[in-house]
């Protein structure tokens, strides 16, 4: 499962000893998101997400099926102390997007917490650090990512408003700056609603990420 250019750059600044585990976690998130990439037909999406959830839960007591992302999870994340059951809870966030009708404030909050909050907290554990506001930063990043993916301007606006309500860390410790690099892009994207999104990996985004890597801000 390929990562987008923004995450590829952030991953390059993860210490080499921890990079395979963080990559496995981020590829899991990308794989869950790919379930919705072809549309939000609820029944099919729920069946596919349920397969991922159940497969992750089974990793705690059985070898993975022959699926590359799950094999990476078993090889890199379980030995690092993350259980399949913990990782399976990320599926709950993505499943919120399959609810019929417009996304409610509760849908957005559940998606943000279970996808982005958990992703950043798990990443921080793998990076060997913690900081106040890591979960909130992950929630904001996930909400902005939802807005960037959405074709509905109203939904995108609601997601951006929810992201802006999160209090992000003003400064990040060195070991967590790969996460801070992504959070800095979320903050940047909050200002661009209705102006057209920058493409992932655009030079201006890379410069913003590198500035954060050097300063922590």
SS3 string, 145-212, reads HHHHHCCCHHHHHHHHHHHHCCCCCCCCCHHHHHHHHHHHHHHHHCCCCCCCCCCCCCHHHHHHHHHH
Cβ-contact 4, 200 below 8 angstroms: yes
Q: How is residue 190 annotated by DSSP? A: T
Residue 181 or 102, more confident: 181
CA angle 197, 69, 85 (to 5 degrees): 100
User: Two tokens at 14?
Assistant: 């993860």
Cβ-contact 139, 161 below 8 angstroms: no
* pLDDT the model gives residue 99: 78
Of 4-8, 99-103, 122-126, minimum mean pLDDT range: 99-103
Average pLDDT over residues 138-153: 95
Interatomic CA distance for residues 58 and 85, integer angstroms: 8
Q: Which domain covers residue 116, as residue numbers?
A: 5-215
Mean pLDDT (the chain) is 94
* pLDDT the model gives residue 194: 72
Cβ-contact 176, 217 below 8 angstroms: no
Interatomic CA distance for residues 200 and 188, integer angstroms: 12
Cα distances (angstroms) measured from residue 86 to each of 57, 76, 92, 121, 138: 8, 14, 11, 11, 16
Cβ-contact 194, 153 below 8 angstroms: yes
Interatomic CA distance for residues 216 and 212, integer angstroms: 5
* pLDDT the model gives residue 100: 74
Q: Would the pLDDT of 40 be above 80?
A: no
Q: How is residue 111 annotated by DSSP? A: H
Of 7-11, 56-60, 128-132, minimum mean pLDDT range: 128-132
> What's the pTM?
0.96
Dump pLDDT digits (tens) for 170-215.
Answer: 899 999 999 999 999 999 999 887 788 999 999 999 999 999 999 9
* pLDDT the model gives residue 62: 97
Classify the phi-psi angles of 83: left when phi > 0, otherwise alpha if psi is within -120 to 50, otherwise beta: beta
How many CB atoms within 10 Å of residue 169? 18
User: Two tokens at 51?
Assistant: 């397969």
Alpha carbon 125 to chain centroid, angstroms: 15
Dump pLDDT digits (tens) for 54-98.
Answer: 999 999 999 999 999 999 999 999 999 999 999 999 999 999 999
Tally of domains within the chain: 1
* pLDDT the model gives residue 39: 66
Cβ-contact 35, 48 below 8 angstroms: yes
Q: Would the pLDDT of 126 be above 80?
A: yes
Cβ-contact 159, 147 below 8 angstroms: yes
């Amino acid at each position: 499962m390929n990562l987008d250019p923004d995450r590829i750059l952030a991953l390059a600044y993860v210490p080499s000893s921890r990079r395979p585990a963080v990559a496995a976690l981020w590829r899991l998130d990308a794989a869950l998101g790919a379930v919705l990439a072809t549309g939000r037909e609820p029944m099919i999406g729920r069946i596919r997400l349920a397969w991922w959830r159940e497969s992750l839960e089974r990793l705690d007591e059985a070898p993975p099926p022959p699926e590359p992302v799950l094999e990476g999870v078993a090889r890199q994340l379980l030995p690092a102390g993350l259980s399949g059951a913990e990782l399976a809870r990320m599926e709950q966030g993505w499943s919120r997007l399959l609810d019929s009708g417009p996304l409610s404030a509760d849908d957005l909050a559940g998606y943000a917490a279970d996808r982005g909050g958990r992703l950043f907290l798990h990443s921080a554990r793998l990076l060997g650090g913690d900081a106040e506001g890591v979960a909130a930063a992950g929630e904001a990043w996930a909400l902005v990512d939802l807005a960037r993916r959405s074709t509905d301007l109203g939904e995108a606006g609601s997601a951006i408003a929810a992201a802006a309500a999160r209090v992000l860390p003003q400064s990040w410790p060195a070991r967590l700056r790969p996460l801070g690099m992504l959070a800095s892009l979320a903050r940047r994207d909050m200002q661009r609603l209705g102006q057209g999104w920058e493409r992932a990996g655009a030079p201006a985004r890379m410069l913003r990420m590198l500035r954060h890597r050097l300063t922590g801000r």
